[in-house]
Amino acid sequence: MTTERLEPATTADERTMLEGWLDYHRRTLAWKCEGLTDVQLRTAAVEPSELTLMGLVRHMAEVERFWFHEILLGEDLGALYCTEEDRDGDFHFTEADTWEEAYATWQAEIANARRDAAGVGLDDLSKGRSRSGEAFNLRWIITHMIEEYARHNGHADLIRERVDGSTGD
């Protein structure tokens, strides 16, 4: 599989540009994971960190679900990997957990996020609230997701370089 990353439009309207940048960063994470073995996808950045490419993908599946479904729509589907006992469950996996499952779950959550946001305007407020009771408009959620992916793509760059020496934007 070859991940195609399209540069976001430089003259688009606001929503198209925001969604373009979010998709660009989603594809960047997929690209950073491309062509690696299961062992490589499970390789931590540096000891004692548990940060791995597979963990980042599972984490972003959780983040997509949380912001676009739980916060935006106000519907709690429950966490995918994390529990009250293990808040970092997205980074903790067993031999039974597979890359195929992690990737498929992440892609499904991206598709769900696109569907959930499709009928919502950028200024529309979320039905769900933060722990402090704060609502968010869709513009803030998309901007936050761009920031979240950009930060974790930096982590993915370093992990990928450690795993097989590959570098690049």
pLDDT tens track for 66-113? 999 999 999 999 999 999 999 999 999 999 999 999 999 999 999 999
The answer as to whether 14 is a domain residue is: no
Partner residues linked to 137 by β-bridges: 125
Query: What string of H, E and C letters represents the secondary structure of 112-169?
Result: HHHHHHHCCCCCCECCCCCCCCCCCEHHHHHHHHHHHHHHHHHHHHHHHHHHHCCCCC
C-alpha to C-alpha distances, 145 to 60, 67, 95, 119, nearest whole angstrom: 9, 8, 30, 18
- Determine contact, residues 82/107, Cβ cutoff 8 Å: no
The answer as to whether 117 is a domain residue is: yes
CA-wise closest residue to 54 among 110, 15, 100, 11: 100
Taking only the tens place, the pLDDT of each residue in 117-132 is 999 999 999 999 998 9
Q: How many domains does the chain have?
A: 1
Structural domain span for residue 87? 20-164
**Contacts (Cβ under 8 Å, ≥6 apart) of 30:** 3, 103
CATH number, position 110? 1.20.120.450
The answer as to whether 53 is a domain residue is: yes
pTM of the model: 0.94
The answer as to whether 97 is a domain residue is: yes
